Amino acid sequence: MKSMSGILGLMGRLCLSFIFLTSAYSKMFGWSSNVQYIATRHFTNPILVSLMIGGALVIELGGALCLISGFQARIAGLVMAIYLTTVTLIFHKYWVIANEMSRATMFMHFQKNLGIIGGLLMVAALGPGAWAIGNDGRD
């Protein structure tokens, strides 16, 4: 059964990582689109926006690689959960949207992020599982 929990832990980490890898890819190869999107949230200072996107890229790519490999997965899970909580509260404020359809869509994104945050917190609390680089047998 320990082998099965190791496989399931790896599969869970891979699933959690996918959204962050695709998001990092869009930041690397769609920088200007991301600048425009962030401007819709009233962040217009180009230096601040570049720092925001650059920081997000580092967290998303570095965190995803840590989750996939299991290396420092607890720390990565915690950092990514804090990051995603911040992003969710800034970019998915469904409660301020008047249009019912738009509010419902934003609420769905908010809920999705809560689920991902929950998964990241579980990695932070329980570790990556048996199939991880640097696993010392405690997880």
Tens-place pLDDT, residues 113-129: 999 999 999 999 999 99
SS3 60: helix
pTM of the model: 0.92
The C-alpha R_g of the chain, in whole angstroms, comes to 17
Taking a C-beta distance cutoff of 8 angstroms, is the pair 84, 120 a contact? yes
How many angstroms separate the CA atoms of 37 and 16, rounded? 23
Dihedral sign of CA atoms 46, 49, 55, 58 in order = negative
Please write the tens of the pLDDT for every residue from 46-103: 999 999 999 999 999 999 999 999 999 999 999 999 999 999 999 999 999 999 999 9
Domain boundaries, the chain: 2-126
